[in-house]
Amino acid sequence: MAIDEKSHILFTKPLHQTPMIYYHSTNTDINLKGDYMRISAHPILDFERGTQVSFTFDGVQVSAYTGETIAAALYAAGYRTLANSPVRHRPRGFFCAIGNCSSCMMVVNGNANVKTCIELVQDGMIVETQRGKGTL
């Protein structure tokens, strides 16, 4: 395992020996945030993008569009780690995208255990990484 300190990109070789790159940044200077992960043109589907809004994620302003889920907006902004496993604190990312797993649970506007893959983004909301199992 090696970490490129400038870009915060973690290179690993998992058990199946295929090199994988996991991106997790706490550095807001990296210019990977924005629309680079959003589909702008598709040969079959038409996308009617909602109005642009912003919310706070762990103290950082993130741009999103109405109609997007919190997890989709974070993924488009370059965030790959949405949570950590409660026992071993291993990074968890965007997994099922339909609300069946617990890989994307965060604290949203003070409410713990919110599945961000099905929760729509709202202007001005405050989203925080959940530490541990959360409290109700």
The residue range of the domain holding 83 is 50-129
CA–CA distance, 115 with 19 (Å, rounded to integer): 29
73 part of a folded domain: yes
109 part of a folded domain: yes
CATH number of 117's domain? 3.10.20.440
22 part of a folded domain: no
- pLDDT truncated to tens, each residue of the chain (136 aa)? 444 454 444 444 444 444 444 444 444 433 344 555 677 777 888 878 889 999 999 999 999 999 999 999 999 888 888 888 888 888 888 888 888 888 899 999 999 999 999 999 999 999 999 988 777 6
108 part of a folded domain: yes
Number of structural domains found in the chain = 1
35 part of a folded domain: no
CA–CA distance, 9 with 44 (Å, rounded to integer): 34
97 part of a folded domain: yes
99 part of a folded domain: yes
